[in-house]
Amino acid sequence: MKRLLFYGICLILFLSFYSIAYGIDNSRDSDNDGLSDNDEIYIYYTNPDYYDTDVDGYDDKWEIESGYSPRHANGRKMINVDSDGDGLNDKWEIAIGTDLLKSDTDGDDYNDGQEVNSGFDPLKNNLAKSKKLIKVDLAKQNLTYSFDGHILESFPISSGVPRLPTPKGNFKILDKVLAKNYGGAGYYYPNTKWNLHFTTINYRYYIHGAYWHNKFGQPMSHGCVNVSYENMEKLYDWTNVETDVEIK
Ligand SMILES: [Ca+2]
Ligand SMILES: [Ca+2]
Ligand SMILES: [Ca+2]
Ligand SMILES: [Ca+2]
């Protein structure tokens, strides 16, 4: 009986050393950059044995957390890199959980970018629709948009000033308008890009790009939701007619 116990303990010790030595442990981080070997190999496609995959002086983890691509030097943002050319940028692939280097993650003959653009689930080989949601928080002056609950982007906006408030409630995108002229008493903003029409209550309200101020984070508008051009182009391209909008 004692001998059996001894062999049992030996076996447990052997298996734990084996798993540590041969990387069965999922938390193993060979290059000590704060990203596990597992995540580097299967999610980020970075070098698990060297902390700075693109050799630009910034470590992989810092680049990922700051929105830069750890695989491409020269300060390229992950949102502007599409490693597998499937129409879905690296940042959103990681957020959604699709494969960075495989254009059709679920193997249904529609590539990840096509599926996300048209609102289908790129992780399931069926016709399941995915939920696109744009949330505007007026108190925080912030907009967040998500795909099936995965946050893609979050940034400051400018809503309506107190005498011309942005309407609160649940809406849907009714129309996408590439360029519009906005004007009224004392202002005229021609050729304003990327306009998402969301309500006809009393007045037509839009989420749209704004090039005439840079005060995002504080109310500035006549009731629409102003977004910087840098953020608005991506949001416009991603949004579909019918996408849900929640304003609180
Ligand atoms: Ca690592
Ligand atoms: Ca780097
Ligand atoms: Ca891609
Ligand atoms: Ca697919």
pLDDT in tens, 95-145: 999 999 999 999 999 999 999 999 999 999 988 899 999 999 999 999 999
**CA of 113 relative to ligand 3 center, distance in Å:** 7
**CA of 3 relative to ligand 2 center, distance in Å:** 53
Q: Is residue 31 part of a domain?
A: no
**73 and 148 share one domain:** no
Q: What is the CATH number of the domain that holds 173?
A: 2.40.440.10
Domain boundary residue, one of 79, 96, 118: 118
Q: pTM of the entire structure? A: 0.86
Own/partner contacts of 87-94, CB < 8 Å, gap of 24 or more, are 87/111, 87/112, 87/113, 87/114, 87/116, 87/117, 88/112, 88/113, 88/116, 88/122, 91/67, 91/152, 92/116, 92/147, 92/152, 94/43, 94/44, 94/64
Domain boundaries, position 79: 37-118
**CA of 70 relative to ligand 2 center, distance in Å:** 5
d(CA 155, CA 225): 12
**93 and 51 share one domain:** yes
**CA of 61 relative to ligand 1 center, distance in Å:** 8
**CA of 56 relative to ligand 3 center, distance in Å:** 22
**174 and 237 share one domain:** yes
**87 and 160 share one domain:** no
Work out the burial of residue 32: count CB atoms within 10 Å of its CB; fewer than 13 is exposed, 13-18 middle, 19 or more buried: exposed
The total domain count for the chain is 2
Q: What is the DSSP letter of 68?
A: B
Q: Which residues of the chain have pLDDT under 70?
A: 1-24
